[in-house]
Chains A and B, each alone.
Chain A
Amino acid sequence: MKEENKKVQILEFEKPIYKIQDKIEELKKTSADTNINYDSEIKKLEEQTKIYKKELYQKLEPYQKLQIARHPQRPNFMDYVHFICEDFIELHGDRHGFDDKAIIGGVASIEGRAVMLIGTMKGKSTKENLECNFGMPQPQGYRKALRLFEHANRFNLPIITLIDTMGAYPGMMAEETGQGEAIATNLKEMAKLEVPTIAVVTGEGCSGGALGLAVSNKVMILEHAYYTVISPEGCASILWKDSSMARVATDALKITGDDLLQYGIVDEVIKEPTGGAHYNAQEMAQNLKKSLVESLKEFEGMSPEELRNQRYSKFRAMGVFAQ
């Protein structure tokens, strides 16, 4: 992948680590220039960095995770296709006059298993992002996904969806052609599928736009990804009337994998490489692949009826109320 050679963009909260690392480099250089031995100092500093790094990444605040989830270099759908699939044949179009590039799907092979792989696509450059509309699907994208769900159902292919979206696109055409209806129909039709369905939130899982691909037998989330009903910025501007309260809203919304696991909204949190998926896309993809293959095995041998019942009861049980 081209991106591997690129320098990783450092997030604000990571800067202290890189300051120490710069200092180490500086010492190494001075040591070479002046022949004074700074080895012990360097070693000490390196130890310190290691400890600091470990502490920092182990105790990430939700708001810091949010920034990792949104990192511009975070692996996208095509990166995962590259690392996970032996084969991938993309299938285009909703058959009603549109091919939404924000949702990509196709038949694929993962460790010898044939599956239908569908996901939202985010670009890494402005050009790519303009093409895929920054990963925000139009109704036609959801309808393309629905067509592929039905195709998979016909040919008994398990369905894997990878989700990383700020939400369904809020535009004029989207409203005119039924953004709400497209998502709602997917929710309803996903409930009826007779093949195993597995959804993974790989980055941003915002609102109905994410759920429209995630009424699945198993829902997983990457360690630093988030899944929420509204973006923290949106929530802050509505409830606090102040979008700068986004950090507080992020905490309040309980959007991290561990929180969601506790409320039964996701079934598994998939570990990311130290610092986040963008530091090592390949390692991330391997972790993801392992979880996907294991999940596929879980549903092997279940009848269509059992699959539907499992999915139905899972979502039926969601919600907390008094009675």
Chain B
Amino acid sequence: MTLTDWFNKRKMQQIAARDNDVHIDDSIGKLWTLCYNCSSQLPKKDLENNLMVCPNCDYHFRIGARQRIDLISDKDSFCEMYQEIKPCDPLNFVDTQSYPSRQEAAHAKSGLDDAVVVGTCTIEGQKTAIAVMDFEYMGGSMGSVVGEKITRILEYALLNKLPSIVFTASGGARMQESALSLMQMAKTSCIVAKLNEAKLLYITVLTEPTFGGVTASFGTIGDIIIAEKGARIGFAGRRVIEQTIRQKLPADFQTAEYLLKCGQIDFIVERKDMKEKLSKLIYLHTKK
């Protein structure tokens, strides 16, 4: 046996061993989850009962759009709008997979038609227009559908003089729609300009993670910008910055806490306090 053979054999054994581990994890995985932050094994039920926040270290797990809506809106008050808007493939984009097949996979994974759910709800009795992004659908990337649905719900808020809240969770623009996705940044910012002029409250809540095109458009032009605890928020990705400036970044760089120190956000909220904080803010800005 040559040395290379020996290494190959060892590698194969390691891969086989890893596969076995995964198998074992799967059966446990149904009941237990590993906290990404403190690595403690958490019973899934406990985690769910704790709003998907690690009871040991307060790490906020990402949550889906529907779950988020349940957390902040009054029971059964959410009325979804513009569900009929669905993605297509204007550029016939194919990378290692075609765009339509990525859309299908994302739909299967998230149960959504695109990366945002919009509608109206009441928050402690106050009617509000909301848009909630979902990272599970293609990394929450912004394409034509996300841009259009956010624009429409904000137009609805404008027309009906409602306060509005957008929850962001996005890796950035949707590359599969190229310049069309870039233009969604302009489109969504233009409607925020109209809300400003109509003096209607527009709040953005930046959740884990918010990057790229969303940070550089409707995400950071809220009258009030809130970040959820621990969320990573930035324009460029950490790796890109490290490669550009050729140095390691501080561990807490681009976290909500770091941005608060830099004066980029108004305050940080823990998930359990989110509804109450939003409700108070709306009340303080809209009471006569």
Contact = CB atoms under 8 A, between A and B. Distances in A.
B164 interface: no
Residue among A179, A183, A192, A318 having the largest count of chain B Cβ atoms under 10 Å: A318
A186 to B, nearest CB: 9
Nearest to A263: B180
B91 A254 contact: yes
Contacts of A118: none
Interface in A12-39: none
A187 B87 contact: no
Interface stretch (B19-27, B57-65, B191-199): B191-199
Given A180-B234, A319-B148, A172 B245 contact: yes
Nearest to A252: B93
B241 A187 contact: no
B81 interface: no
Interface residues of B, number: 61
A315 B184 CA distance: 8
Contacts of B179: 227-229, 253-255, 260, 263, 265
B6 to A, nearest CB: 30
Contact of B185 (A177, A211, A230, A249): A211
Contacts of B5: none
Contacts of B73: none
Given A229-B179, A254-B179, A322-B87, A178 B186 contact: no
B202 to A, nearest CB: 11
Given A176-B262, A227-B179, A321-B145, A316 B189 contact: no
A286 B221 CA distance: 39
A187 B185 contact: yes
A319 B144 contact: yes
B236 to A, nearest CB: 3
The 4 closest A-B pairs by CB, nearest first: A170-B236, A180-B215, A319-B144, A187-B189
Interface of B: 84-88, 90-91, 93-96, 143-145, 147-148, 151, 173-175, 177-187, 189-194, 196-197, 212-213, 215-221, 234-237, 240-241, 244-245, 249, 253-254, 262, 264
